[in-house]
A and B are shown apart, each in its own frame.
Chain A
Amino acid sequence: MSLKSILKYHIADKRLLFILLTSFSLLNVAWAQQKISGTILDDEKKSALQGVSVRQLDNRNNGTFTSATGNFQLSVPKFPVTLEVSSVGYETQQIKVNDDKQPITINLLVLGNFLDEVVITGYTTTQRKAVSGSITTVNFDERNANQADQDVVKLLQGKAAGAQITATSGTPGGGVSFVIRGNNSISGSVEPLYVVDGVFMNTSLPVTGGGGNLLSNPLADINPADIESVTLLKDANATAIYGSQGANGVVVIQTKRGKRNTASRINFSTKQGWSEAVNKFKATTGPETGQLLKEAWVNTALENGESIGTYLNREKPTNWDLVYPFKDSNGDVDFGRDNIADLPTYDRIGDLFQRAKNTDYQLSLYGGSNTSNHYIGLGYAGQESIVKPNKFQRFSARVNYDNNVTDKLKVGTSYSLARTTRANVRNNDNDPGGIINSAIFPRSFLPIYDANGNYLNHATFNNHLRLIEHLDNNYTTWRNTVNLYAEYSFLPNLKYRTSGSFDYTSNGSRSFSDFALSNAGAATASNSLIQVYTAEQLLTYVKTFNEKHDFNVLLGNTINVNQSQGVSASGSNYIFDVLREVSSGGTTTGGSSRDENRLVSFFGNAGYTYDDRYSLEFSLRADGSSRFGQNVRWGYFPAGGFIWNVGNESFLIDNPTINGLKVRATFGYSGNQNGIGNYDALAIWSTSAESYLDQPRLSPGRLANPDLTWETTRQTNLGVDLALLRNRFNVSLDWYHKYTTNGLQSVIVPSRSGYSTAIQNYTEISNRGIELTIESMNIRKNDFSWSTSFNISNNRNKIEKIPQEQTMGATNRGTSILRQGYPINSFFLYKQLEVDPQTGNAVYEDVDGNGIINYADRQILGNTEPNFIGGLTNTFTKKGFDLNVFFYFTQGNDILNMHNFFLVHGGTQNGIGFDPRQLNRWQKPGDVTDIPKMTKFTLNPEQNNSSANNYTGQVANLSSRYLENGSFLRLRNVALGYTLPQDIASKLKVNRLKATISATNLWTLTNYKGLDPEVSAQSTNQNTAGYDWATVPQPRTFEFILNITL
């Protein structure tokens, strides 16, 4: 559609509105029944269409369907009346009928190809064919809501090419890592910018801590039921308009708005269901554990060349009786067969899991008059975790309202309020006190209770039941997201828009450790207030000359202020543990903090299109950030794009097979300043009032870095959009290359400086990849349709330049490495070649060939970057039924299985039991296995093929033995729905009634041996992904969903 025809349409629409308005007012007066008859045809083939819905626009309950000959009859109360005619695969039409004098004929247009779709391009919308950038839109509808996740980001997984989304655990409302087209930065943020109805969202975590585990996702505050569409802006030209904020991509979320001139509808929906664990942790039985421990002692004594008696006398722990219950009646050590075979087995893991309840209610009201439209949504979601005792709840309310005050002035608001609670959050599953560890680590023959029924702790681990029953750690987030805008059209083609928005988040947390959990009680209470203010001015000018020259110009300015402040208090030394407030503590302390950053941006964008065939775009943005030094705080980010709309060339315009073809190229720069501290460019001295002997202290805190400036990413994107076979087959293909320079990194500096790191612009990182999206309408008949949507993408990440390599991860074990020439998130381990069948010892690759195994022999043996990821959705509809089947897959990434790291320890961990994988250990010469023989440590840890390095020594389990392939194919969601036929629904006095059964994570294909391949337990640090460590697995969920529209 050209601009001109849009305008024409607009005018026609206006008249229609006027007529409608009058018809409303007349409604009460006349109530005579009149009958309309007519025929509906395919516009192209001029063939009759069966099953087309014909309804009265202002009273959709009054409707009918066309017969096999394409005919229909409909009684209406009065004239004139407007009919809405709709059918799958055709454009919905509205027809005004003035009288019943003669039958009408309506020609339905086949749906246009996807190049005609209107897409959001950041600040404005435009048709896809005029877009040079790489943009992916995901429309949210009931099908998305079938999936059990209550989190918009999780619902996007597998739906958009180029977006790598990993739920870090199966905790409801838990962490999700979201990276578009690979990690650009080491110390800067890699998260995209989220813009909801024009509001820049704060993404501070409501729940922090958790030993590296990302425990929460701030976007879980958004009710997915309110979302209309999510648009991903991926390349430099698409994100250019967001400049400094856009280097990691932009996620533009639009919430639902009512449509003008539509009758008000009330929609109610509910989901009821349950979740359960697909796989559970495993432990060896008591006798198996005993046998393994015995072997460890016996083998080690043998290795030391001493008798088991001597060895035990020197090394046996004082609590031998309990930890190694192998004793005769005199209490002496006795490895007798019966002693071991009679060991009991206590199941702790069963206590951990539960069948979790899911509940969801949504109520919405939407519609519009001829000058305004509204959407009001109320929602409640409650999800229990499959691992006790965590629960997520969200209450949300939204009001979206737009009013056309005059022809020229439009004002509106988006207002949302959400209260999110995360109850009984296990903050520290990675720690000995964590619930998961306390259940999986103790040896299975150790009792849970003592003789008097009291909880027993073993080794360093707390009692799992004590933790489950006494946990009191709650988080509440109140979030208010508000946007107010006004739009004024000076001229039909010159528009000014001003908008103010703020995102206000209040995170409160309360926790208490009673006397069962702490020696004298401990309470904490903290509140943080995060406010993001955005003011935005926008001037757009759109003009077509001589029907062939389209110009558009956009000028704008935003001011962004991000403030956060917090107060916290803690109490200890309680007399009673029933009084849980901080103020009841014998000792109380408190603190407060405040910080702020600001960003001022100016931007412009200009585009020219010739004859709908060639387009050129150029944009420039200037950003000033308060985070950087005065002389280097402004960054300038230009971008440009070119389109050749081949489909509109004369040689293709009438091609029956190729209905649309567009070639795109963009190039541009974007910046990043997120992820670093607000004042990192400034030298500071830190102080505290009460230090040694409660006297004040003062010490150098940070060196000045006046040259700290923007991290800059340049990106080239080449793309093709193709529509084939009467627009039933749409393909988008993109290739991109990103190169980041001046990368922000906490660079390690020599310790002798007194500092460990300094934030600097140094690193260079590249990402390149291909994205393919295919949308296909396979079968389109009146009573049956089948459509497929498929996307696949790959990304190659590489550190091009880094000051020095740096190891990190797994609580100081340095299993992840940043090294030049390799991707971020590479695993750095010793490579186990084999377990020597003769000795039972592990043989590692001696990289430098010097005969000893030490740090020089560690190598990069894998990384967390998949070769490709993607999603496949098939939708079938037949009569009232619809079936939606969604697969998600990832291939070629590695996972470090930390459960095996700890629980396949060969006897070296003094207080820990075993994973059944330990049973595969080498036992006698000739055994071929990858698990070395049981041994506690012995000396000379550098020797290869020595028992010292089996599980400890230099290698200390940092071995490829525990690195696994994390590829999987998962049936993420399958849902079968049934919509009641219109006539029955009408009799029930409802507009629409739909029932759905849905299963999430029903089936997974993987070789990964841990509980679930979709895991990333150390993800609070973007450079340590891919660890499986005391994490709640993704649950399998079954739900029943009911949708009623009145």
Chain B
Amino acid sequence: MKKIVKQVYIGAFALLTLTTFSGCEKFLDLKPTNALLADNAVYDAKTSRALVNAGYSNLKSYSIGSALTLAVLPGDNVFFAGSQSQNIELDNHAFTVTNSAIVGAYASSYALINVVNWAISEIPKVEDATFAEGEQNKLIGEAYFIRAFAYFNLVRSWGGVQLQLNPTTDLTSLGAISRSTEEQTYAQILSDLKSSEDLLPADDGQTRNKLQKAIVRAFRAKVLLYAKRFEEAETEATAVIQNPKYALLKPYNKFFVAPFLTSESVFELSATATNAGTSGSAWFPASGTPRGSYEFRPSNEIINLLNDPAKGGNRKSLIATRGTDVFVNLYHTVSPNINPAYVIRIADLHLIRAEARARKANPDYAGAIADLNLIKDRAEATLYPVGNTDKDAIVQSIWDERRLEFAFEADRWYDLVRTEQAEEVLGVSKNFWIFPIPQSDVLSDPDLNGTNNPGY
């Protein structure tokens, strides 16, 4: 009997040992089925295209979400009527270091930058005969533009930021990078735009939702305006305005009617049935069809301005009334929601040029008023008196025009800060003209030295 016991023991042990050291390791190696398992998955033309398309996709998400929220809620055209704290804080200019809208915008900007950093670093290394002529350069050029765009969003929201120009391969690759100045950040943006323009192929006659050289120039005009380099801004704006591909459309509401991508649009990020666009649900009233949450509401002031024929003209089509509720009707398609993000319209370039002409060292007031009046004329509003040379008055009326022209696009708050009107118009002291860096970054990134923007 003892013998049998011993044998059983030995047998059991042998079995256990066997399973442990031969089969186990293999048994425990499991791989996911729905994600690519790799440190670097960019190796051919298809994956290169897909990587850059991820950049576009993130850019679209940002533009229909964070960009709009951060630009309209702190502004004076829209007030927030819901209960979410982060939006109430934005509306009240009580920007907190943990505000999830601010934190989210900051994080998603850098997530976007990481995607295009991968593109900039890896696509040049890819060798694939199936790339079309110049396609590889085009993809890299697009990536450079998207990076510039993301840094522009960062610099106008948070001031000079850390310039992360290499892809994150692991956390130790982050390197020690401290914050750049605002000037350095703008310099990086302009340098990326230069790279982009150099790499992109010649423009075609119809594309408005993928990169074109003209888009780079239009965006550069805007960046230069923010950087207060008016002469160059005028040059860039003029180059785009002279491009026959773009035109101001009449009436005003033509640009936001499906199927969109009108000749008014310089850069538009399109939505499709499966990839939804700017949601109207925050803007629609709670009763009636289509139904929304009516959390983003037009302010009394903007309603009065838009309804004033002399000022708003036919831009009153931006708002509509249901019962007693006045609501914004710019993002109006539902089921499917294919409202695009209107990133740059030709109207913007006219107003950029108008402002640049009025504010440059040798002002061109007549040119400025001509551009301003093109916009007013298209909106069927009262024209600005020709021949006026009062710089302050002209500039102010250009700014006031921007408020109406881009009333519910991602512009107003940034404009008030850029033009230093925020204190006067909103009562926000200069300390709070840029958002706080997220508290989680201040704590987790030693290169921020534990400090936030002044005032936070």
Contacts and interface: CB of A to CB of B under 8 A. Distances in A.
Interface of A: 313-322, 432, 441, 456-462, 490-491, 494, 496, 518-520, 537, 539, 555, 557, 559, 572-573, 587, 589, 593-598, 600, 602, 624-626, 630, 633, 678-679, 682-687, 690-701, 703-704, 747-756, 758, 803-807, 811-814, 854-855, 902, 908-912, 937, 939-941, 948, 952-954, 956-957
Given A602-B20, A698-B50, A953-B92, A754 B83 contact: no
Contacts of A595: 32-33
B5 A756 contact: no
Given A519-B291, A690-B275, A937 B37 contact: no
Given A557-B19, A748-B443, 13 more contacts: A317-B300, A318-B297, A519-B290, A519-B291, A624-B28, A679-B30, A682-B31, A687-B35, A694-B272, A756-B107, A910-B79, A911-B82, A939-B93
A456 B287 contact: yes
Interface stretch (B54-62, B183-191, B376-384): B54-62
A700 B115 contact: yes
21 contacts: A318-B300, A319-B285, A319-B324, A461-B286, A557-B19, A595-B33, A684-B38, A691-B54, A692-B53, A697-B54, A753-B114, A753-B174, A805-B443, A911-B82, A937-B92, A940-B429, A952-B88, A953-B94, A954-B94, A956-B85, A957-B85
Nearest to A559: B27
B334 A458 contact: no
B48 to A, nearest CB: 9
Contact of A704 (B39, B291, B323): B39
Interface stretch (B66-74, B95-103, B230-238): B95-103
B98 to A, nearest CB: 4
B336 A854 contact: no
Size category, B interface? 35 or more
Listed from nearest, the 6 A-B pairs whose CB atoms lie closest are A754-B114, A812-B100, A698-B50, A750-B445, A457-B286, A699-B54
A752 B162 contact: yes
B41 interface: yes
Interface in B116-171: 117-118, 162, 164, 167-171
Which of B12, B54, B82, B291: most chain A Cβ within 10 A? B54
Interface string B237-265: 00000000000000000000000000000
Given A460-B83, A685-B36, A316 B115 contact: no
B50 A697 contact: yes
Interface in B424-453: 427-429, 438-441, 443-445, 447
Given A750-B174, A752-B162, A755-B168, A699 B115 contact: yes
A692 B174 contact: no
B427 A939 contact: yes
B313 interface: no
A698 B42 CA distance: 9
A537 B15 CA distance: 11
A698 B54 contact: yes
A537 B16 CA distance: 10
Given A804-B443, A812-B86, A519 B325 contact: no
Given A753-B168, A941-B94, A314 B28 contact: no
Interface of B: 1, 4-5, 8-9, 12, 16, 19-20, 24-25, 27-39, 41-42, 46-47, 49-51, 53-54, 56-58, 60, 79-86, 88-89, 92-94, 96-98, 100, 106-107, 110-111, 113-115, 117-118, 162, 164, 167-171, 174, 177, 209-210, 269-270, 272-275, 285-287, 289-291, 293-295, 297-301, 303, 323-326, 334-336, 427-429, 438-441, 443-445, 447, 456
A593 B79 CA distance: 41
Nearest to B92: A937
Nearest to B117: A754
A621 to B, nearest CB: 13
A683 B429 CA distance: 45
B403 to A, nearest CB: 15
Given A686-B36, A956-B96, A753 B83 contact: no
A596 to B, nearest CB: 6
Contacts of A539: 8-9, 12
Given A490-B8, A602-B20, A696 B107 contact: no
Contacts of B25: 624, 630
B223 to A, nearest CB: 21
Given A633-B28, A698-B47, A698-B51, A432 B97 contact: no
Nearest to A684: B35
B301 A318 contact: no
Contacts of A695: 49-50, 53
B239 to A, nearest CB: 26
Contacts, number: 305
Given A316-B300, A600-B27, A751-B438, A460 B294 contact: yes
A459 B93 CA distance: 22
Contacts of A600: 19-20, 24, 27-28
Contacts of B290: 519
A297 to B, nearest CB: 14
Contact of A954 (B81, B96, B210): B96
Nearest to A556: B16
Which of A573, A589, A753, A813: most chain B Cβ within 10 A? A753
A683 B286 CA distance: 44
Contacts of B49: 695-696
B81 A911 contact: yes
A757 to B, nearest CB: 9
A699 B53 CA distance: 9
Contacts of A457: 286-287, 291
A751 B106 contact: yes
B42 to A, nearest CB: 7
A693 B273 CA distance: 10
A486 to B, nearest CB: 15
B7 to A, nearest CB: 10
A700 B114 contact: yes
A313 B107 contact: no
B36 A458 contact: no
Contact of B334 (A491, A520, A812, A902): A520
Contacts of A956: 85, 88-89, 94, 96
Contacts of A633: 28
A829 to B, nearest CB: 12
B93 to A, nearest CB: 7
B34 A593 contact: yes
Contact of A460 (B34, B286, B447): B286
A116 to B, nearest CB: 30
Nearest to B303: A318
A594 B86 CA distance: 35
A724 B162 CA distance: 71
Contact of B164 (A624, A752, A804, A807): A752
Contacts of B34: 593-594
B30 A678 contact: yes
A697 B274 CA distance: 14
A238 to B, nearest CB: 24
